[in-house]
Chain A
């Protein structure tokens, strides 16, 4: 099996601006010190992943799961489920049988 191909379009190393962007997408805030450390560490992991990026695998089907699973449906019969109150009792803030969150309307996206 010859896996080690040559890929001309290898990605550049991750930049601190990209880490900042990704942190924002993941709803995380980083101090400038953390940004520096995380950038360095993520770069090391992604540099290691260059071996995978360099492989020529055009004819291979991706495999996202170990089992060939389709949608799994259960029989449409009533069974005993947890009551909403059992979940709500563990939430940080609740009002009128619902999860309470800070104001959303009028917020910038």
Chain B
């Protein structure tokens, strides 16, 4: 994208430093990013809404605090784009669905609140696959987002708007949600860093639920360090989320440069050719990442995660099952769209039939079926047992290894329309990212080279729960090797 914000204003930590020391104002930073949005948003369509007035008011307030000598916070003046399935008080929140038309949440998601308290400037709400269901951001009621590296390609999904916003230079930081890879896969396809934190490490309060045992909120950034800084800001215990981990400790940045010397890294063989559909060039690039870690002093070995073979099937039973229950709340009574009918049931049916898109309907029906009498044990019950097996596989590996490594996405960004009519082909995009969600572990995608088509490739580092420090260290090492 031409006309980018100058390099010295591209890093969140540097922006915060410059704004705090009054070398540049938060308003000036915002204007530079708004210019970039103005120039290219029509092509990319990263946003459902750019909140210019609110952003300007927030930036002015940050500048005022600094002038008055108050501490502005670690993200002072840093523009942040928020996925449009996170509640923003008084600002429309749509999940890219017609069913939430006109709805303005009465509260901020905890993550949004923490970002504001840290001095960030919220610049807008980013596009997504409806209710975060998809891997290309084509399932949006407001039209697809395009990949800034090639506008004929998808940005990945479901947080495609957030990934594209960072890749296009619309914001140095964006927030997404990751249920089966929805932060990491678009990060890989757009050439940015994306993190899925430990389940329970970042509050889900104010995140519109898709699959509650899998959903997790996390950052997109242009560097590993920026991602870690934002993770520290948004993480931590939240009494408003009953699955929030109490001992959540968040100090990643301090140890980020400690390197990988003597670290034991396992390469997941099932995701390096064991499972069909992962392209040769992605595997090749991941092998280069392996060499880079090895050169930096890590001890690297190939390992097996047998249950990985069954994760795709298990996920596409568990996630729809939870979604079918979570999305029953969209009934035309409490928020958003209502399409009238002669009685309550007819009103419910009319509202849901008109309000939901095809992929959401598909997953609601799939989940309803998987949970229905006669099929519960065969599908949902079995899937939960695969989940246990997977957790045991991981636990065994983490007795011997500090982190694991695999590709993030099986392929580089594909053309718009290429997979949208074949759900199963689309679902395969999540094959490398799903295992971390099923067990609630953290994982990060780091850009590492590109494919024949010139499009970015991402490599994934997986870590045990609450061990993000070591994940960030390995990621930082790979980042340095790729530069």
Query: Which residue numbers of A lie inside 8 Å of B, CB to CB?
Result: 1, 3, 9-11, 14, 18-19, 22-23, 25-29, 38, 41-42, 44-46, 48-49, 51-53, 55, 57, 60-67, 69, 72, 74, 82, 86-87, 89-93, 99, 101-104, 107
CB distance from A46 to the nearest CB of B (A): 8
> When each residue 92-136 of chain B gets 1 if its CB lies under 8 Å from chain A and 0 otherwise, what string results?
000000000001111100000000000000000000000000000
Q: Which residues of A contact B465 (CB under 8 A)?
A: 66
Q: Answer yes or no: B331 CB below 8 A from chain A CBs.
A: yes
Query: Which residue numbers of B lie inside 8 Å of A, CB to CB?
Result: 103-107, 199-200, 213, 239, 242-243, 245, 306-307, 309-310, 312-314, 316-317, 324, 328, 331-338, 340-350, 352-353, 356, 361-362, 364-366, 368-369, 372, 375, 378-379, 381-389, 391, 422-424, 427, 438-441, 465
A48-B316 contact, Cβ under 8 Å, with A41-B423, A69-B243, A102-B340: yes
Q: Which residues of B contact A3 (CB under 8 A)?
A: 306-307, 309-310, 389
Cross-chain contact B336 with A92 (CB below 8 angstroms): yes
Cross-chain contact A41 with B362 (CB below 8 angstroms): yes
Closest to B320 in A: A45
A-B pairs with beta carbons under 8 Å apart, 20 shown: A1-B389, A9-B378, A11-B378, A26-B368, A27-B348, A29-B350, A48-B316, A51-B309, A53-B378, A62-B385, A65-B213, A66-B439, A66-B465, A67-B199, A67-B245, A92-B335, A92-B337, A93-B338, A102-B340, A104-B344
A64-B384 contact, Cβ under 8 Å, with A42-B365, A102-B347: yes
Residue from the list A18, A53, A63, A92 in contact with B387, Cβ < 8 A? A63
A60-B334 contact, Cβ under 8 Å, with A28-B352, A102-B342: no
Q: Which residues of B contact A27 (CB under 8 A)?
A: 328, 331, 345, 348-349, 352
Q: Which residues of B contact A38 (CB under 8 A)?
A: 361-362, 365
How many angstroms from the CA of A52 to the CA of B384 in the assembled complex?
Answer: 10
Cross-chain contact B382 with A99 (CB below 8 angstroms): no
Q: Which residues of B contact A89 (CB under 8 A)?
A: 106
Q: Which residues of B contact A28 (CB under 8 A)?
A: 349, 352-353, 356, 361, 364-365
Residue from the list A23, A53, A90 in contact with B379, Cβ < 8 A? A53
Q: Which residues of B contact A62 (CB under 8 A)?
A: 381, 384-385, 387-388
Residue from the list A14, A26, A51, A103 in contact with B324, Cβ < 8 A? A26
How many angstroms from the CA of A55 to the CA of B378 in the assembled complex?
Answer: 10
CB distance from A91 to the nearest CB of B (A): 5
CB distance from A100 to the nearest CB of B (A): 8
Cross-chain contact B104 with A90 (CB below 8 angstroms): yes
Number of A-B contacts (CB under 8 A): 179
Closest to A83 in B: B106
Closest to A74 in B: B239
CB distance from B248 to the nearest CB of A (A): 12
Q: Which residues of B contact A18 (CB under 8 A)?
A: 369
Residue from the list B310, B334, B387, B389 in contact with A99, Cβ < 8 A? B334
Cross-chain contact A52 with B369 (CB below 8 angstroms): no
How many angstroms from the CA of A63 to the CA of B119 in the assembled complex?
Answer: 40
How many angstroms from the CA of A62 to the CA of B310 in the assembled complex?
Answer: 15
Residue from the list B338, B350, B386 in contact with A55, Cβ < 8 A? B386
Cross-chain contact B364 with A102 (CB below 8 angstroms): no
How many angstroms from the CA of A107 to the CA of B424 in the assembled complex?
Answer: 40
How many angstroms from the CA of A41 to the CA of B306 in the assembled complex?
Answer: 27
Q: Which residues of A contact B441 (CB under 8 A)?
A: 66
Q: Which residues of B contact A99 (CB under 8 A)?
A: 333-334
Of all A-B residue pairs in the complex, the 10 with the closest CB atoms, nearest first, are: A66-B440, A62-B384, A92-B338, A72-B242, A63-B388, A86-B106, A57-B385, A60-B385, A52-B313, A49-B313
Cross-chain contact A63 with B385 (CB below 8 angstroms): yes
Closest to B336 in A: A92
Closest to B199 in A: A66
Q: Which residues of A contact B372 (CB under 8 A)?
A: 22, 25
A51-B313 contact, Cβ under 8 Å, with A1-B306, A29-B353, A63-B391: yes
Cross-chain contact A66 with B348 (CB below 8 angstroms): no
How many angstroms from the CA of A27 to the CA of B200 in the assembled complex?
Answer: 32
How many angstroms from the CA of A86 to the CA of B104 in the assembled complex?
Answer: 10
Cross-chain contact A53 with B352 (CB below 8 angstroms): no
Q: Which residues of A contact B389 (CB under 8 A)?
A: 1, 3, 57, 60
CB distance from A98 to the nearest CB of B (A): 11
Q: Which residues of B contact A74 (CB under 8 A)?
A: 239
CB distance from B185 to the nearest CB of A (A): 19
Q: Which residues of A contact B364 (CB under 8 A)?
A: 26, 28
Residue from the list A48, A53, A66 in contact with B213, Cβ < 8 A? A66
How many angstroms from the CA of A23 to the CA of B324 in the assembled complex?
Answer: 11
How many angstroms from the CA of A63 to the CA of B391 in the assembled complex?
Answer: 9
Cross-chain contact A87 with B352 (CB below 8 angstroms): no
CB distance from B201 to the nearest CB of A (A): 11
A107-B343 contact, Cβ under 8 Å, with A49-B379, A90-B103: yes
Cross-chain contact A91 with B385 (CB below 8 angstroms): no
Q: Which residues of B contact A72 (CB under 8 A)?
A: 242-243
How many angstroms from the CA of A45 to the CA of B331 in the assembled complex?
Answer: 27
Residue from the list B333, B345, B424 in contact with A48, Cβ < 8 A? B424
A92-B423 contact, Cβ under 8 Å, with A55-B382, A107-B344: no
Cross-chain contact B424 with A44 (CB below 8 angstroms): yes
A55-B368 contact, Cβ under 8 Å, with A28-B349, A38-B362, A42-B362: no
